[in-house]
Chains A and B, each alone.
Chain A
Amino acid sequence: MSENLLVIDGQEVMFEPGQTILEAAEKVGIDIPTLCHLKGTTPTGACRICMVEVEGARTLMAACTVPAAKGMVVQTESATVVRSRKTTIELMLASGRHDDCLVCPASGDCRLQELAYRYKVKSARFPETFTEYPMETVNPLIVRNFAKCILCGRCVQACRDVQVNDAIDFGYRGATTKIVAKGDMALKDSDCVFCGQCIQACPVGALVPKDAWKKPRVCETEQIRTTCPYCGVGCQQILHVKNKKIVQISAAENAEPNQGRLCVKGRFGYDFIHSDERLKTPLIKKDGVFHEATWDEALDLVASKFTQIIKDHGPDAVAGVSCARSINEDSYQMQKLFRGVFKTNNIDHCART
């Protein structure tokens, strides 16, 4: 073969130099399962779930780290591969508390559960090998449930390589290995800035939003893509919605401009939407006190007052401030009202704050 071709599951696949077997396979829709691999960061090859058989190689190889090579012949679901994956899954199940999916918020949205299902692994089959660290619930916003951690390292990569916050890393050794913040402190006492990128990266239920247990599981929700309402970066979010309530927010992957990232405000700052203190009806002030009113009452009053003031004092006696947080269509409509109906250019917004 003269070109950059390899054979995956009997299919000839073209690759670009530098691409891994995983990337080459992905391009043609061959699904090699991964776990520790976090797109956009350097592969660590930690979990061994992506092992494939390469003709002529003595051992199985990790598809996420091994570069595709000319003439390579790869089997992604051979009997040997499947046997290896089963064992890997069984070991992972034994490395933590994974027999209680019923009370795990990640159930239905868990990579380990998905893999166990795909490879028909019922239970751990190995003796438990882990140290049961207590759940860390003292932080705002984030709960760390170490008993579910499979030590894939994705959170560390998300924190270090994606967000560059360097708040967490692997700590201790062997059966006591744990993901730790500096000095094994709680996140709230560490360099953590609560961006929640580690939650987004965690494939299991080891890192979850603090209020997760009070809400429907993510797997029951509908996903709606939208744009963050806070700063001018304009990150793309996925709203997880059930019964007309936002349950959780995650970053839209492969989206511009944020490429799967969010900050603390974008990920956690949505409770205001469902607050009881929201304004629910128009209010009209009488004798210094606000009274609830109908739309007709309120709008008639606004229209008649503006009409009267414009009649008596001219259009420039009215002025308005639009909102730099609301949608374009609202600002357009407000300036149209001021210019086209009131006949004044006295319209501005807080462009400067």
Chain B
Amino acid sequence: MTNSFKEFKHAKMFFVIGSNMTEAHPVAATYVKNAVRSGAKLIVVDPRKHKLAEFADLHVPIKVGSDIAFLNALMYVLIKEDLYDKDFVTNHTENFEALKEVVMAYPPERASDICGVSSETIVETARLAASIKPMMLCYTLGITEHSCGRNNVVSVANLQMLLGNMGMEMGGVNPLRGQNNVQGACDMGALPNVFPGYQQVVNPDARKKFEEAWGVDNLPDKNGLMIPQMMDKLVTGEVKAFYIFGENLANTEPDIRKVEHELSSAEFLVCQDIFENETTRFAHVVLPAAAWSENDGTFTNSERRVSRVRTACPPPGIAKPNWWIFREIAKRMGQTWPSQSAKELWDNEISVLAPSLGGIKYRRIELDGLQWPCPTEEHPGTSFLHKGGQFTSGKGHFTPAEWTPPAEVPNADYPYVLSTGRRLYHYHTRTQTGRTPGLNELLGEETADISISDARKLGISNGETIRLSSRRGSISLKARVTQEVPENMVWMAFHFRDANANWLTNPAFDPYTLTAEYKACAVKIEKMV
């Protein structure tokens, strides 16, 4: 996020796209609702009429996967009607002409066909968005989990720059992170192309810095593999040893059947986790890890805030902290690392090596955490980025994007779009929430959410067991007939193994980020006989 949660309450205008905030980020949603109650305007762009849409001044139910066409059409209107922030565009951005050229090919009439909303609605949305400044834009996986995810992301940034809503409080582009420490795992360099603090592995200076710090030589100089590539290469045999730390890939990756084949191809698979799960079944060695409340450490939230995690209880049996396990393996391969606690790792290594974290030390985050960039120990942290329109690379760069349809679109055989997400009462594959009886009582099984009109058309009643199939698999589960879902769409989560949406989802990936298209694949619905 460029901005902070504490600004939400005071915001005057929100644009929430592809985010089911009341279920996936409930506390963030409370601030949005607070602001709306005190008069803020809210635009919700989402195929589903979810809870937050009830609070909206305008809910725009665009079709799944039509975001870029919609956003481009908004920018068309803003430019055509002269509603954009010319000052900001002139002084703080570059490449406007290229953006203009692309978006001018998206008049509302054309976008209307792609998005399934009227051109009047598109014009109205653009005018409303331009009517109050600043506007805070929030999005979640509804934007990223598409084969065009990266282009979705640049498009929302284009919109905010065009409106001049960057570099100020209560504005900005704010992706809410799905998992508690996605931000942190990125910051720490658990990515194939960067060291901690986003220092490129292909940069010789960066390699030299880490070689000196770690007392090693010849750090690898080319980018590594992303998860989908790793999985492919397990099957071809190019990757032989695979180390999975804390992820239940067998349930969370698209197309479970394919994933299981990939996992079983590994010559040597190590799983390090807190529970046995569908993935550990394929392991050769399972290492028991300390969980959240059993070790000291830090998480970094969506607003770049590094907060403390503290020990409340010892791990069960002889389970050990993860960092300890990695350190022991290094030792057995000839390297003895100096840091012997999470605090030493942070204070003496991480904060020393990542410049934007330089000023964050454990003693400074006893109470509230600090938000990076925080380069020095005197620095108060940064609650919003690009202050005064100053972007890291000088000016904000418009990256025009063309709309592309999802990799798999409905046809006569598979006439419905399946889109997936999360529900309030569970988290991911339920390895954690599934062990609280009260949460299972509140949500005990997966359902396929379908619209009232489709239910009527197919003769399906609420709670009836149906069969749902894609080109990859088939599951049976109960239908939940609801007015939240529009016609021609099925919506599901992936919390349960049995009726897991990932038996059906399409392993199509964004070419830039290799993010999977969880949000769109084609399915058919059948009555059980």
- Please report A residues at the B interface, Cβ cutoff 8 Å: 140-141, 161-164, 188, 193-195, 210, 224-236, 239, 241, 244-246, 255-259, 261-266, 268-275, 277-285, 290, 295, 298-303, 305-307, 309, 313, 315-341, 343-353
Instruction: Give which listed residue, B233, B322, B367, B442, contacts A334 with CB less than 8 A.
Output: B322
Asked if B393 is at the interface (CB within 8 A of a chain A CB), the reply is: no
Which A-chain residue is minimally distant from B324 (CB atoms)? A333
Segment among B409-417, B450-458, B510-518 that sits at the interface with chain A? B510-518
Contacting pair A326 B26 (CB below 8 A): no
A261 CA to B247 CA, complexed, in Å: 28
Residue of A nearest to B509 (CB): A352
B297 near A329 (CB under 8 angstroms)?
Answer: yes
Task: Give the contacting residue for B182; candidates A210, A300, A313, A324; CB below 8 A.
Answer: A324
Per-position 1/0 for B229-258, Cβ under 8 A of A: 010010000111111111101001000000
The smallest C-beta distance from A91 to any residue of chain B, in angstroms, reads 33
Closest Cβ of chain B: how far from A115's Cβ, in Å? 29
Tell me which residues across on chain B come within 8 A of A263, comparing CB atoms.
26-27, 424
Task: Known A230-B180, A353-B178, A353-B518; judge A245-B313 contact (CB<8 A).
Answer: yes
Q: Report B-chain residues with C-beta under 8 Å of the C-beta of A307.
A: 333
Interface residues of B in 150-194 (CB under 8 A from A): 176-193
A257-B4, A352-B515 known; A319+B233 contact, CB < 8 A:
yes
For residue A313, which residue of chain B has the nearest CB? B240
- Shortest distance in angstroms between B299's beta carbon and chain A's nearest beta carbon? 5
CA distance A351 to B175 in the complex (A): 12
Contact B368 A255 (CB under 8 A): yes
Q: Using Cβ atoms and an 8 Å threshold, which residues of chain A touch B330?
A: 336-337, 340-341
A140→B437 contact, CB < 8 A: yes
Contact A352 B513 (CB under 8 A): yes
B475 at the interface (CB under 8 A from A): no
- A331 to chain B minimum Cβ distance, whole angstroms, is 4
Q: Is the CB of A328 within 8 A of B346?
A: yes
Q: Which residues of B contact A300 (CB under 8 A)?
A: 332
B308 at the interface (CB under 8 A from A): yes
**B378 on the A face (CB < 8 A):** no
Cα of A278 to Cα of B280 in the assembled complex, Å: 13
A227 engages B274 (CB within 8 Å): no
27 A-B interface contacts by CB (under 8 A): A193-B26, A194-B438, A230-B432, A233-B302, A257-B27, A261-B27, A273-B294, A280-B288, A281-B318, A283-B283, A298-B287, A303-B333, A317-B240, A321-B245, A321-B249, A323-B245, A323-B247, A327-B181, A327-B297, A331-B184, A337-B330, A340-B219, A340-B335, A341-B329, A341-B334, A350-B227, A353-B145
- Contact: A281 with B242, CB < 8 Å? no
Stretch among B60-68, B75-83, B210-218, B466-474 lining the A interface: B210-218
Residue contact B432 to A140, C-beta cutoff 8 Å = no
Q: B333 — which chain A residues lie within 8 A by C-beta?
A: 303, 306-307, 341
Q: Which residue of A162, A195, A309, A350 contacts B241 across the interface (Cβ within 8 Å)?
A: A309
Interface pick from B28-36, B39-47, B104-112, B399-407: B28-36
Whole-angstrom distance between the alpha carbons of A295 and B196 in the complex? 29
Q: B312 to A302, Cβ gap below 8 A?
A: no
Indicate if the CB atoms of A234 and B302 lie closer than 8 Å. Answer: yes
Residue positions of B touching A, CB distance < 8 A = 4-6, 22, 24-28, 30, 33-34, 37, 55, 141, 144-145, 149, 176-193, 195-196, 201, 210, 214, 216, 218-220, 222-227, 230, 233, 238-247, 249, 252, 267-268, 270, 273-276, 283-289, 291-295, 297-303, 305-314, 316-323, 325-330, 332-335, 337, 342, 345-346, 349-350, 367-369, 424-427, 431-439, 441-442, 513-516, 518
List residues of chain B with CB within 8 A of the CB of A326: 181, 245-246, 289, 297, 322
Q: B33 contacts A164, CB within 8 Å? A: yes
Secondary structure type dominating chain A contacts: mixed
Which residues of chain B are near A239, meaning CB under 8 Å? 293, 310, 312
Q: Are B515 and A233 in contact (CB under 8 A)?
A: no
Asked whether, in the complex, the Cβ of B240 is within 8 Å of the Cβ of A328, the reply is no
Q: Which of A193, A233, A275, A281 is the one whose CB lies under 8 Å from B5?
A: A233
- Report the separation of the CA atoms of residues A259 and B286 in the bound assembly, to the nearest whole angstrom: 39
A246: B residues at CB distance < 8 A: 293, 312-313
Q: Are A332 and B368 closer than 8 Å at their CB atoms?
A: no
For A280, what are the chain B residues with a Cβ–Cβ distance below 8 Å? 288, 316-319
Q: Are the C-beta atoms of B433 and A265 separated by less than 8 Å?
A: yes
Given A318-B241, A334-B190, A350-B179, A275 and B435 touching (CB < 8 A)? yes
Of A195, A227, A302, A353, which is within 8 A of B179 by CB? A353
B230 lies within 8 A of A319 (CB): yes
A227, B183: Cα distance in complex, Å = 14
The answer on a CB contact under 8 Å between A224 and B216 is: no
Whether the Cβ atoms of B442 and A194 lie closer than 8 Å is yes
Would you call B240 and A348 a contact (CB within 8 A)?
A: no
Chain B positions within 8 Å of A140 at CB level: 437-439, 441-442
By the criterion CB–CB under 8 Å, are A333 and B326 in contact? yes
Complex contacts, B518 vs chain A, CB 8 Å? 353
Q: Which listed residue, B185, B325, B368, B438, touches A351 by the CB 8 Å rule?
A: B185
The one of B243, B425, B437 in contact with A271, judged by C-beta atoms closer than 8 angstroms, is: B437
Quick check: A231 and B180 within 8 Å, CB to CB?
Answer: yes
Hey, which chain B residues are within 8 Å of A352, CB to CB?
A: 144-145, 149, 513-516
When chains A and B are docked, how far (Å) is the Cα of A133 from the Cα of B175? Answer: 46
Q: Give every chain A residue within 8 A of B309 (Cβ-Cβ).
A: 226-227, 229, 327
- Does A332 lie within 8 Å of B196, measured CB to CB? yes
Contacts of B218 in A (CB 8 A): 343
- Residues of B close to A353: CB separation below 8 A: 141, 145, 178-179, 252, 516, 518
List, in ascending order, chain B residues with CB within 8 A of A317's CB. Answer: 238-241
Q: Given A231-B26, A256-B5, A327-B295, 10 other A-B contacts at CB below 8 A?
A: A225-B367, A226-B308, A271-B435, A299-B329, A321-B243, A327-B181, A327-B297, A328-B346, A340-B210, A350-B179
Given the interface pairs A327-B295, A353-B252, the reply to whether A279 lies near B6 with Cβ below 8 Å is: no
Q: Which residue of A lies closest to B266 (CB)?
A: A319
Complex alpha-carbon distance, A336 and B368, angstroms: 28
Partner of A319 from B24, B187, B225 at Cβ < 8 Å: B225
Q: Name the residue on A nearest B230 (C-beta).
A: A319
Q: How far is the CA of A329 from the CA of B323 in the complex (A)?
A: 7
Residue of chain A at shortest CB distance from B34: A164
- In the A-B complex, the 3 residue pairs with the closest CB atoms: A280-B317, A234-B301, A232-B177
Closest to A305 in B: B268
A240 (CB) vs chain B CBs: closest residue: B312
Q: Are the CB atoms of B306 and A328 closer together than 8 Å?
A: yes
* CB nearest to B276 among chain A residues: A279
Q: B438, A234: Cβ atoms under 8 Å?
A: no
The answer to whether B242 touches A258, judged by C-beta atoms less than 8 angstroms apart, is no
**Of B192, B274, B369, B437, which one neighbours A348 at CB under 8 angstroms?**
B192
Q: Which residues of A contact B30 (CB under 8 A)?
A: 162-164, 261
Residues of A within 8 A of B434 (CB): 272
Chain A residue, CB-CB nearest to B320? A295
A345 touching B201 in the complex, CB below 8 Å, given contacts A236-B307, A298-B287, A315-B220: yes
Residues of B within 8 A of A265 (CB): 26, 424-427, 433, 439
CB distance from B92 to the nearest CB of A (A): 28
- Is A264 within 8 A of B239, CB to CB? no
Are A309 and B267 closer than 8 Å at their CB atoms? yes
Q: A333 touching B285 by the CB < 8 A rule?
A: no
